[in-house]
Each structure stands twice: as C-alpha cells, then as structure tokens.
Amino acid sequence: MKHIAVIGAGTMGNGIAHTFAQNGFKVNLIDLHQSSLDRGIATIAKNLDRMIAKEKISEADKNETLGNIIPFTELSKGVKNVDLVVEAAVEHVDIKLKIFKDLDGLCDPKTILATNTSSISITQIAAATERPDKVIGMHFMNPVPIMKLVEIIRGYSTSDEVTKTIMSLSETLGKVPVEVNDYPGFVANRILMPMINESIETLYNGVAGVYEIDTVMKLGMAHPMGPLQLADFIGLDVCLSILNVMYDGFKNPKYAPCPLLVNMVRAGKLGVKSGEGFYDYSESKKAETIAAQFSN
C-alpha cells in the first residue's frame, strides 16, 4: 500500500496527508476548492519548517514530503488507482454518505475506504457502498503529525483482513492503533465529550469561571489543557455535533448538550477558528489569552 488519497484539506485532512507523505507514501490531497488546497499545503510546509527548526528533519526531508503530495480538485481524478482513501470532510452525515457512495463507483473494487469521522456510525457510512467489508474508521487525533493515537473502528461488516491491514498501516506511520467497535462516540469521544459538556454545565451553573475550571483540571488532574480550552481548540460546533450524535444514538439524557454550548454555537462563538469561544482569540486579546492558557 503506497498510494493514498485524502479527501479534505482542512485541519485534519492536511495533517493526515502530511503524516502519510512524510512516511514515504504518495498522497493525492483532494478538495473542491483550490484555495483550500493552497492553505492546506501551506500549513504542511509551515509545520515542516517547525520540525526543521527543532532539528527533527532536514530541508531535504521537507522537500521530499511536499513532493509526495499532489493536489486535486476533482474527486474522480484524485481517487484513481489508489490503495486507500481516507475521508476527512466536514462532520456531517449526509455529506459523508454522498462521498462514500461516489467513492464506491469511482474506486477500484480492491480499494479500502476509510473515514476520519469522530462520531458517525461506520456501519451507516459503509451501507452507502457495495463494499461494506472494505469500509473502516481511522480516527486520527489533532494535531495528526504529533499525536500517536489512531482509533481504528470496525463497522458491522468490516472484514478481519481490512482491519489487520489498517492496524499495520497505522503502525507504519509511527502511530499506536487501538481497535474499537462501532458505537456512538467510539471510545475517545464517548469519554471526552461528556467531560467537556459537564465542564460547560459547571460554568453555566455558576460554580466557577472559565479560568478556574480549566486550572482545576490542569493542576488537579494533570490534563495538558483545560476542558474549556480544549473545546475551543476542537471547535464548539464540532463538540455540539458529536454530543448530538451520541444523544441520538443512546437516547440517554447524560449526553444532551448544555444549553450554553448550544447558544454559543448559534451565536457563532466556535472557539479558535472563529476568534472567540470560552477564550478570546482576537488579535487584541491573543497575548493575554496565551499567557492565561500557559501560566500554569
């Protein structure tokens, strides 16, 4: 397996492309918009420059990595003759179902189709294809080039052979793959999102402020960042989407999103990507925000 296609050039997509390319794979990076591809490749180059500055790679390594990535704006051309497709589009079930239905008709019958979804059912996605045995979840963590974990999620029909292939491939990337079964939230978000949601409830109920809640979790529980800061980093809209998937899947009120989270998303306060969430990331507040985040 040497030729990979990655769908989506956003944060997760460019990170996945970076990781495969740096490990010697040929990567077709696909996005509908050329501007998104340009930003994605620029981000990869910037991250490689950071690695050069830390003396982890050489300039030649950077050039080789970038040379392994070919951008495409047409899905049909980008997935031609690849061994594996990793979908990293937006976390919206209808969009993913459409992508996988299209992939099924465009890709070679032997091609494995993977999704980086953090919560949507692999079984549901696989049902949009005629190859459910070759559909699997590869849930990378952000930032992809640094984080070691990959959740490998088996759908109801995912074959043993495909699972073993993707587990082995993940190890080739220097990752630690963990096999889990297909239930809402899988493992990572089934545990993480209720913690974030409870932190938001704690703020909503006036128990403590943003800084105080994050400080308790950082200093008392040895978390590298507080749950509210982490929610900002993930994106509050993404957190809300995952909680809704879990609530719909389990019908258990403990997964119901906090009203404060719902209102913040409605107001466009999505975290880092919108410039404001639980913290203010605007230029005037950036230094103060960073200082508060890392003061402990």
> What residues are annotated to the active site?
118, 139, 151, 189
Report the sign of the C-alpha dihedral through residues 89, 93, 94, 98, in that order. Answer: positive
CB 277 within 8 A of CB 271: yes
Residue 178 — φ and ψ, nearest 5°?
-125, 120
Burial (CB count <10 Å: 0-12, 13-18, 19+), residue 85 = buried
87: number of Cβ within 10 Å:
25
228: number of Cβ within 10 Å:
24
159: number of Cβ within 10 Å:
17
End-to-end CA distance of the chain: 44
- Token pair, residue 190, equals 């089934």
